[in-house]
């Protein structure tokens, strides 16, 4: 019973299943309804979807997406089984990269000249978000000349601000019993109970990782230093270092004859079915695990600069 | 035969029983097991047991019960009537496995095949007779699958009983014939008076025998195929007839235990091709390591979006 099923790409949807605050999507109260906007993601530097709520707050859009899900909505079926979460996000995170870029010139500048992006023209609307202007002093120095405000990026302020963010995140993590400890995680099993051995550093690192989702890689590294957390020397991703071949002037010759495998009777065998146990094993989240091969490869010397 | 209890909810398995004759509690009894409706793509599968005192075997023979397959529907009804009249010494019990039970058993993650389903139904009925105080000594069974294995399984499960498993037992032992008649009559009734849970309006009940090779059955299956839901619960989804039609005509549905193999599956699981280990790392090493999302999000299957 080998039925071939084609995974056709998702066709355009005209509806989504969304969780959002009422105040964000209230179309009655305010003049401007909620609008989805594409803005530069401060962490990835590429486009991400955000929403400007009708309460003039900035929201980020995240999708819960797993394979093999669909919705039954009323009398219809929706193929796209995503669940969208629209949650508030601090607009400062998105303004920060623009300020940092202009900060390299070291001059005080007008914000509307700083927060500009040809690729994402909607970014100017970030400045009109509630709290945007009021909280700018967290990341920039201010000067007022002739009734006009000028700003300049401040690394010290930003670091202090981010540190506070991390500390607040730690509090939130503790409150919501998020498992922050190291260890192998299974895709089918998310720990609910608190690891008893999770220490303060685990929380700090986890919170730092979360905040790093909202800042650039360089800033993330700087923040690590500011939090006085040593950088972890994790083994490089999965692949073992390739063996170096010795160079010689001699013509290259095959060491072994593999041509016999090319004969017709050495046909490719169909892949074997995995047993249930193997399938479960395959689903284990292997991030952070060393490959077996890495134990047999020569150690990579870490150079101290 | 009153199938009211089953018709009230025909999506599950249901047990119907006769009253237990007093004599069966005191005298050594024999018991026959047979089934009806194993092959059809439509309707339930019925398991039946019939039991009577060993001393009354001859009287049962006099009722001229014979293999249900050699009889017309009217003759079967007639014989069931006679069995019912002999209730002073003959008892019966039925396990009706709804088509929905069959579908969900055979199509669940840990596959539960039709043979195991049948065996377990038979075992359940024998256990029922024992629990009700029937003095069982001999059990005769029409086989499902290899007779020897089945006999061994039953003997092990019921060490105190003398178990005989034979192919064609329904024509060899009158008590098995009696069981087969009970089962077949129940199945006929269940199919005829099928109470569709689905809102199908006036259902066309001209579905023929229900066997996959019956053109009428096939035409009916085509007529009642819904592109999203497939069939009413009357249909056994696990039958290849039903599956082939669904594969061709209904919307494709993917389940996470779909068996995929080959390169596609590997691609889905992000397995690297063996060849990739032999090729040069593409471009600069560091650029290939793209932004990795924090595990808070990956563990919760949360992704950023760049478009709706």
Is there a contact between B306 and A48 if contact means CB atoms under 8 Å apart? yes
* pLDDT for B192: 84
What is the helix (H) or strand (E) element at residue A68, kind and residue range? none
Low-confidence winner among A196-200, A249-253, B123-127, B132-136 (lowest mean pLDDT): A249-253
B277 to chain A: closest CA residue: A239
Q: Is A247 on the interface with B (CB under 8 A)?
A: no
Q: Is B305 on the interface with A (CB under 8 A)?
A: yes
A150 in any annotated domain: yes
Of residues A232 and A91, more confidently modeled:
A91
A191 in any annotated domain: yes
pLDDT band at A13 (very low <50, low <70, confident <90, very high): low
* pLDDT for A89: 94
Low-confidence winner among A11-20, A234-243, A293-302, B128-137 (lowest mean pLDDT): A234-243
Low-confidence winner among A157-161, A270-274, B41-45, B126-130 (lowest mean pLDDT): A270-274
Residues on chain B touching A13 (C-beta within 8 angstroms): 308
A78 in any annotated domain: yes
Q: Which domain holds residue A203?
A: 17-264
Is there a contact between B299 and A190 if contact means CB atoms under 8 Å apart? yes
* pLDDT for A192: 53
B246 to chain A: closest CA residue: A3
Q: Is A7 on the interface with B (CB under 8 A)?
A: yes
A110 in any annotated domain: yes
In whole numbers, what is the pLDDT of chain A averaged over residues?
Answer: 79
Handedness of CA A6, A9, A14, A19 (dihedral sign): positive
Our CA angle for A108, A109, A110, nearest 5°, is: 140
Residues on chain B touching A209 (C-beta within 8 angstroms): 294-296
A186 in any annotated domain: yes
* pLDDT for B147: 87
Residues annotated within the binding site of B are 34-35, 142
Q: What's the CA gap between B220 and B211, in Å, rounded?
A: 11
Query: Is a pLDDT exceeding 90 seen at residue A181?
Result: no
Determine what percent of chain A is predicted with pLDDT higher than 90.
Answer: 37
Dihedral class, residue B283 (left if φ above 0, else alpha if ψ from -120 to 50, else beta): left
Q: Is A1 on the interface with B (CB under 8 A)?
A: yes
CB-based contacts of A90: which residues, under 8 Å, 6+ apart?
A58, A131, A135, A214
Of residues A258 and A186, more confidently modeled:
A258
Torsion of CA B69, B74, B78, B83, to 10 degrees: 40
Domain containing residue A143: CATH number: 1.10.20.120
Give yes or no for a contact between A87 and A62, defined as CB atoms under 8 angstroms apart: yes
Residues on chain A touching B238 (C-beta within 8 angstroms): none
A1 in any annotated domain: no
pLDDT band at A250 (very low <50, low <70, confident <90, very high): low
Is there a contact between A1 and B243 if contact means CB atoms under 8 Å apart? yes
Query: Is a pLDDT exceeding 90 seen at residue A305?
Result: no
A259 in any annotated domain: yes
Q: What's the CA gap between B291 and A214, in Å, rounded?
A: 12
Name the nearest CA neighbour of B38 among B125, B123, B115, B148.
Answer: B115
Which among A62, A65, A271 has the least Cβ separation from residue B262?
A271
* pLDDT for B58: 83
CB-based contacts of B272: which residues, under 8 Å, 6+ apart?
none
Query: Is a pLDDT exceeding 60 seen at residue A266?
Result: no
Does the predicted interface ipTM exceed a cut of 0.85? no
Other CB atoms within 10 A of residue A236 CB: 13
Query: Is a pLDDT exceeding 50 seen at residue A5?
Result: no
Residues annotated within the binding site of B for a divalent metal cation are 34-35, 142
Domains by residue range for chain B, with CATH: 3-193 (3.30.420.10)
B151 backbone dihedrals φ, ψ, rounded to 5°: -60, -40
* pLDDT for B277: 66
Query: Is a pLDDT exceeding 50 seen at residue A153?
Result: yes
Is there a contact between B293 and A239 if contact means CB atoms under 8 Å apart? no
**Interval A114-141: pLDDT, tens:** 999 999 999 999 998 888 888 899 999 9
Residues on chain B touching A16 (C-beta within 8 angstroms): 308
Determine what percent of chain A is predicted with pLDDT higher than 70.
Answer: 70
Q: Is B297 on the interface with A (CB under 8 A)?
A: yes
Is there a contact between A48 and B255 if contact means CB atoms under 8 Å apart? no
Tell me the sheet residues that pair with A63.
A84, B303
Tell me the sheet residues that pair with B33.
B49, B141
- Tell me how far the alpha carbon of residue B208 is from its chain's centroid: 20
A4 in any annotated domain: no
Segment 10-29 of chain A within 8 Å of chain B by CB: 13, 16
* pLDDT for B62: 78
Q: What's the CA gap between B13 and B121, in Å, rounded?
A: 10
Q: What's the CA gap between B166 and B172, in Å, rounded?
A: 9
Q: Is A65 on the interface with B (CB under 8 A)?
A: yes
Tell me the sheet residues that pair with A76.
A73
Is there a contact between A65 and B289 if contact means CB atoms under 8 Å apart? no
Is there a contact between A282 and B247 if contact means CB atoms under 8 Å apart? no
* pLDDT for A31: 62
Q: Is B131 on the interface with A (CB under 8 A)?
A: no
Write down the residue that tokens 């199509």 correspond to: B107
Q: Is B2 on the interface with A (CB under 8 A)?
A: no
A49 to chain B: closest CA residue: B306
Tell me the sheet residues that pair with A71.
A78
Which candidate in A1, A5, A13, A178 is best for mutational testing of the B interface (most B CBs within 10 A)? Answer: A5
Per-residue pLDDT of chain B (308 residues; tens, 9 = 90+): 677 778 778 888 889 999 999 999 999 999 999 999 999 999 999 999 999 999 888 888 877 776 667 788 888 888 898 888 888 899 999 999 999 999 999 999 888 988 889 999 999 999 999 999 999 999 999 887 788 888 999 999 999 899 999 888 888 888 999 999 999 999 988 888 888 888 777 788 888 888 999 999 999 999 999 999 999 999 999 999 999 999 999 999 988 887 765 556 666 666 666 666 666 554 444 443 467 888 899 888 999 998 87
Looking at the structure of chain A, the number of domains it has is 1
């Amino acid at each position: 019973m080998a039925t071939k099923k084609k995974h056709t790409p998702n066709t355009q949807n005209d509806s989504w299943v969304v969780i959002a605050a009422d105040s964000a999507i209230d179309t009655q109260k305010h003049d401007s309804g909620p609008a989805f906007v594409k803005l530069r993601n401060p962490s990835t530097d590429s486009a991400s979807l955000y929403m400007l709520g009708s309460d003039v707050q900035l929201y980020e859009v995240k999708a819960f997406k797993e394979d093999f899900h669909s919705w039954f909505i009323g009398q219809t079926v929706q193929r796209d089984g995503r669940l969208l979460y629209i949650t508030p996000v601090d607009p400062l995170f998105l303004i920060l990269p623009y300020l940092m870029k202009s900060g390299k010139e070291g001059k005080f500048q007008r914000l509307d000249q700083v927060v500009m992006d040809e690729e994402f023209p909607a970014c100017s609307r970030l400045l009109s978000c509630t709290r945007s202007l009021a909280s700018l002093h967290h990341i920039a120095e201010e000067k007022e000349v002739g009734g006009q405000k000028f700003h300049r990026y401040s690394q010290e302020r930003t670091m202090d601000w981010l540190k506070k963010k991390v500390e607040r995140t730690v509090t939130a993590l503790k409150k919501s019993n998020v498992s922050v400890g190291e260890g192998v995680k299974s895709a089918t099993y998310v720990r609910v109970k608190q690891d008893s051995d999770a220490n303060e550093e685990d929380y700090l690192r986890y919170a730092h990782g979360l905040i790093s989702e909202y800042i650039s890689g360089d800033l993330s590294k700087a923040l690590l230093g500011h939090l006085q957390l040593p950088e972890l020397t994790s083994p490089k991703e999965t692949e073992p270092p390739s063996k170096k071949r010795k160079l010689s002037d001699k013509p290259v010759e095959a060491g072994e004859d593999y041509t016999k495998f090319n004969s017709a009777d050495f046909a490719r065998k169909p892949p074997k079915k995995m047993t249930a146990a193997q399938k479960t094993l395959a689903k284990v989240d292997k991030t952070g695990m060393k490959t077996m091969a890495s134990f047999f490869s020569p150690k990579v010397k870490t150079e101290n600069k | 035969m009153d199938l009211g209890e089953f018709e009230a909810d025909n999506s599950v398995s249901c047990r119907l029983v006769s009253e237990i004759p007093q004599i069966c509690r005191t005298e050594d009894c024999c018991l026959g097991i047979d089934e009806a409706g194993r092959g059809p793509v439509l309707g339930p599968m019925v398991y039946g047991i019939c039991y009577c005192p060993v001393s009354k075997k001859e009287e049962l023979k006099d009722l001229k019960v014979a293999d249900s397959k050699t009889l017309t529907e009217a003759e079967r009804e007639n014989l069931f009537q006679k069995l019912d009249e002999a209730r002073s010494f003959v008892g019966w019990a039925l396990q009706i496995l709804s088509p929905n039970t069959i579908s969900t058993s055979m199509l669940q993650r840990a596959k539960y095949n039709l043979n195991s389903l049948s065996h377990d139904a038979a075992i359940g009925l024998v256990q029922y007779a024992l629990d009700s105080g029937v003095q069982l000594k001999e059990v005769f069974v029409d086989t499902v699958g290899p007779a020897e294995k089945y006999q061994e399984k039953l003997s092990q499960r019921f060490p105190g009983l003398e178990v005989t498993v034979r192919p064609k037992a329904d024509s060899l032992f009158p008590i098995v014939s009696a069981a087969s008649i009970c089962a077949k009559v129940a199945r006929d009734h269940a199919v005829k008076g099928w109470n569709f849970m689905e809102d199908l309006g006036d259902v066309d009940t001209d579905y023929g025998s229900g066997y996959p090779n019956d053109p009428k059955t096939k035409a009916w299956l085509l007529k009642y195929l819904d592109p999203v839901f497939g069939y009413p619960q009357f249909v056994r989804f696990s039958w290849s007839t039903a599956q082939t039609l669904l594969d061709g005509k209904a919307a494709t549905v993917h389940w996470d235990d779909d068996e995929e193999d080959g390169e596609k599956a590997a691609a889905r699981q992000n397995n690297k091709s063996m060849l990739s280990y032999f090729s040069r790392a593409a471009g600069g090493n560091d650029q290939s390591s793209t932004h990795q999302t924090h595990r808070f999000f990956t563990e919760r299957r949360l992704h950023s979006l760049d478009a709706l």
